[in-house]
Structure 1
C-alpha cells in the first residue's frame, strides 16, 4: 500500500448548511455534488474533502455514527505561507459563521489558531516555518 491519503470524509448533520459554509463562507468550489447525499472538493493535488449527509454516510459505510457533546478527537489543518495569513483565514471563517479561537504564536516556532465548521469539526490554520510545514504548502519547497 502506498503511503498517502486520498479522501477525508466527514459525515455532516445538515449537508445544505455545511455546503453553504464551505462554498459561500470559505469560497471553496465543489468538484462533484449529488443532491442530498454528498459534496466533494479538491483539497490538494491528490486529496479530496468529501462531505456526506450523515444518513447517506451511515448507509454507505454500514454503521451508525456516534453523537454527543465534546470535542472530536481529530483536526483538519490548512497550512499557509505567512503568519499574517493565519489571521486572515480565521477572519474569513469567522465571517462565514464559524466558532473561532484566537491565533497564537506557538512554542514550536509557528503561528496557528482554530475554527469549527457547522458540525464542530475543528480546522487548524497554521503557519509552520519548518521543513514539514513548507512541504504541505504548494510552491514553498524548491523543486529538485
Structure 2
C-alpha cells in the first residue's frame, strides 16, 4: 500500500448547512455536489475532502457513534499557511463564515503559531504556521493557491 491518503470523509448532520459554510462562507468550490447526500472538494494534490450526510454514510459503513457524545472528536484537520498573519486572516475568514472560534492563534512551544475553529458539525480545524521542515513540506510554492 502506498503511503498516502486519498480521501478524508466526515459525516455531517445537515448537508445544506455544511454547504453554506464551506461554499458560501469559505468560498470553496465543490468537485462533486449531490444534494442531500455528499459534497466533495479537491483539498490538495491527490486529496479530496468528502462531507457525507450521516444517514447515507451509515447505510454504507454501518452504525455510526451517536453524535451527541460529550467532548470533542479525536481528529483535527489542519490548514497550513506561510505566515502567522495568514493564520489570523484565515481564522477571521472562518468566523465570518459562521465557524465557532475554538482558540485564538498563539505561539506554540514547538515554534509554530496556531489557532482553531469548528465547522458546523464541530470538526476542529487547526490553522497553522509551522516553520519547520514538516510544515514547509505541505505548503504550495509561494504564489500558488493549490
Counterparts of residues 56-67 of structure 1 (less than 5 Å): 56-67=56-67
Q: Distance in 2 between matches of 1:2 and 1:76?
A: 21
In the alignment, structure 1 residue 2 sits paired with structure 2 residue 8: no
* Alignment match of 2:107 (pick from 105, 108, 111): 105
Counterparts of residues 82-93 of structure 1 (less than 5 Å): 82-93=83-94
Q: Post-superposition shift, 1:64?
A: 2.5
Q: Contact (CA 8 Å) 1:58, 1:65: kept in 2 or not?
A: no
In the alignment, structure 1 residue 79 sits paired with structure 2 residue 80: yes
In the alignment, structure 1 residue 128 sits paired with structure 2 residue 115: no
Paired positions, count? 140
User: TM-score normalized by structure 2?
Assistant: 0.93
Q: Post-superposition shift, 1:65?
A: 3.2
RMSD: 0.9
- What are the superposed Cα offsets for residues 27-55 of structure 1, whole Å, 9 maximum, x if unpaired? 10000011110000000011000000110
Q: What are structure 1's unaligned runs of at least 5 residues?
A: none
- What are the superposed Cα offsets for residues 39-92 of structure 1, whole Å, 9 maximum, x if unpaired? 000000110000001101111212233322211111000000111000000000
Q: Distance in 1 between matches of 2:124 and 2:49?
A: 14
DSSP-derived class of the 1:97 partner: coil
User: TM-score normalized by structure 1?
Assistant: 0.94
Q: Post-superposition shift, 1:109?
A: 0.7
The answer to which of 63-72 and 27-36 deviates more is 63-72
In the alignment, structure 1 residue 43 sits paired with structure 2 residue 43: yes
